[in-house]
Structure 1
Amino acid sequence: MARKKSSTDAGVTGAAPAPKKKRWYHNLVEAYRMTRQVKPAIGWMMLGAAVGVMVLAIAIGLWVGHPIYLGLFGLTVAVLVAMSILAFHARRAGYAQIEGRPGAVGAVLGQIKRGWDIEQEPVAINPRTQDLVYRLVGRPGIVLISEGPPHRVQRMLKDEERKVSRVAPNVTVHRLQCGREEGQIPLPRLENRLRKLPRVLTNAEVTQVAKRLRALGAARMPIPKGVDPMRARPDRKGMRGR
């Protein structure tokens, strides 16, 4: 007969227990809790929207003579509406939690799925103040987005605009400042602001401009993925020309 494995035998192998896989409802609960910290009324908003959809669906069902069918359909729509409200406010709550931290703009840009060619790392950084400038290319043209106080980032934005204008002289360049001071764009509204920029390039032109700028970005100080911008330091050997 085969000997049963004891707890001692299991410990000898040294195999760590596999982490438990999170179910979808665990993620849902975590998103709700995070959102509730920023927007305490989120539960009532979801409930109100769901009840409103249900009442409307049942009313239409009574009017057309199919209350059960329309009620079931309304229940499905009510759940979808409630989840959409949660998803919208959960994203804004997430932005509110990271706002003001170095790299927050990069986190927002990482949520944009299509329509833009985005440099995942900052194209300019001030190691002393941790002010950053990000660059992306889309149909509105070239967009430079800064993190930091206006009196410090204006110079960085102008320097970057001069650099990209030498490579793409006929392309529109937008300079946006992300922050809470006057004239800046709050982090939760940044993505919406990008959508409102007028489109002036075709998709083919976007690809061509992005290739030119990618070569320009490779020539400047690199910031490897995963490196904390707070700890970034200039390459002193490179500065001495070695």
Structure 2
Amino acid sequence: MARTKSDAGEASSKKPKKQRWYHQVWAAYQMTRRQDPMVTWIMLAVFLGILAIALLIGFLAGHWIYATVVGLPFALLGSMFVLTRKAERAAYTQIEGQPGAVRAALGTVRGGWNFEDEPVSVNRQQDLVFRGIGRPGVVLVSEGPSHRVQRMLADERKRTVRVLPNVPVTTIQVGSEEGQVALPKVARKVQRMKKQLTRAEAAEIGKRLKALGGVKLPVPKGVDPLNARPDRKGMRGR
């Protein structure tokens, strides 16, 4: 029995193997190829095109071997750049239209932004509003048809301004309708927002916004009420 316990302890202590970078590249390529079968030929065309230019310069300069050695890394870099852009587009295509797709896209935002995992507003049609805090202020990002999320954004903005009257609050609608931002472009739009606060002020805003709480009723379709997170602050006040 002791041997069994020690074996179990050794098994639990083993850390999962880290995925090699080439495994990640291969997985990205496989996923992209399913969405865009032409990606292989595009990558090959870019690779051969850059290499041909390097060889041409090498022949003209009389150092084609040196040009080949220098051109190979640039050819690989060019094909990897194509794969990266195509993989990003394929990933957005896979999640577009699914509930929470906006939060997944906002997960790629850099520059000190902090987005809450749970939406701050949700309706029965599963339209969502997510909140982020950064040096540009507070941003409220919605997913869903404009005629439904417009009121949700307005109500959430009022709640935020009530707590933070002097903090900039920006609303962004994500979707395919006129005036909305496409899902692949929302992260870039957020990152380009002008900074107006210090890091300390942004951190303080995050603490104060916790008082607003998270999702309120109605519960969206497909959510199990038994697994929903309780509003513990609201329960204390009862």
Tell me the TM-score normalised to structure 1 length: 0.76
Residue 192 of structure 1 aligns to a residue whose secondary structure is helix
Counterpart in the other structure of 1:158: 154
How many residue pairs get aligned? The number is: 219
Report the counterpart of residue 35 of structure 2 in structure 1. 38
C-alpha contact (below 8 Å) 1:103/1:229 kept by paired residues: no
Distance of 2:179 and 2:155 partners within structure 1: 19
Q: Matched residues in 1 for 2:194 and 2:160: separation?
A: 19
Distance 2:114 2:175 in 1: 23
Q: Distance in 2 between matches of 1:177 and 1:232?
A: 27
Say whether 1:201 aligns with 2:201: no
Deviation at 1:77, TM superposition (A): 1.5
* Offset from partner CA, 1:8-55 (integer Å, 9 cap, x none): xxxxx999xxx9986544443332232233333222221222122212
Find the aligned partners of 1:142 and 1:21 in 2 and give their Cα distance: 36
Distance in 2 separating the partners of 1:232 and 1:143: 28
Which structure 1 residue ranges, 5 or more long, are not aligned? 1-12, 223-227
Structure 2: unaligned runs, 5 residues or longer:
1-6
- 3-state SS of 1:230 partner: coil
Partner of 1:135: 131
Instruction: Check if 1:231 corresponds to 2:231.
Output: no
Is the 1:96–1:187 contact (alpha carbons within 8 Å) kept by the matching residues of 2? no
Aligned-residue offset at 1:206: 2.5
Counterpart code for 1:183: G
Farther off after superposition, 171-180 or 197-206: 197-206
Give the counterpart of 1:104 among 101, 106, 111. 101
Tell me: CA distance 1:232–1:122, structure 2 relative to 1, closer, same or farther (3 Å): farther
Alpha-carbon distance, 1:145 to partner: 0.5
**What residue identity is the alignment partner of 2:135?**
R
Q: 1:159 to 1:76 in 2, by over 3 A?
A: same
Q: 1:199 to 1:114 in 2, by over 3 A?
A: closer
Decide whether aligned partners of structure 1 residues 182 and 94 sit closer, same or farther in structure 2, where only a CA change above 3 A counts: same
Distance in 1 (CA, whole Å) between partners of 2:101 and 2:109 is 14
TM-score normalised according to structure 2 size: 0.77
Q: Does 1:90 align with 2:87?
A: yes
Read off the aligned partner of 1:205 and give its amino acid letter: E
Quickly say closer, same or farther: Cα 1:53–1:236, change in 2 above 3 A: closer
Equivalent residue letter for 1:93: A
Q: In 2, distance between residues paired with 1:20 and 1:139?
A: 37
Structure 1 residue 103: Cα displacement:
0.8
Would the aligned equivalents of 2:131 and 2:140 in 1 still touch at CA under 8 Å? yes
RMSD between superposed Cα atoms in Å: 3.1
CA deviation after TM superposition for structure 1 residue 176, in Å: 0.8
Q: Would the alpha carbon gap of residues 145 and 75 (structure 1) be closer, same or farther in structure 2, given more than 3 Å must change?
A: same
Query: Residue type matched to 1:179 in 2?
Result: G
Matched residue SS, 2:222:
helix
Q: 1:110·1:120 contact (CA, 8 Å) conserved in 2?
A: no
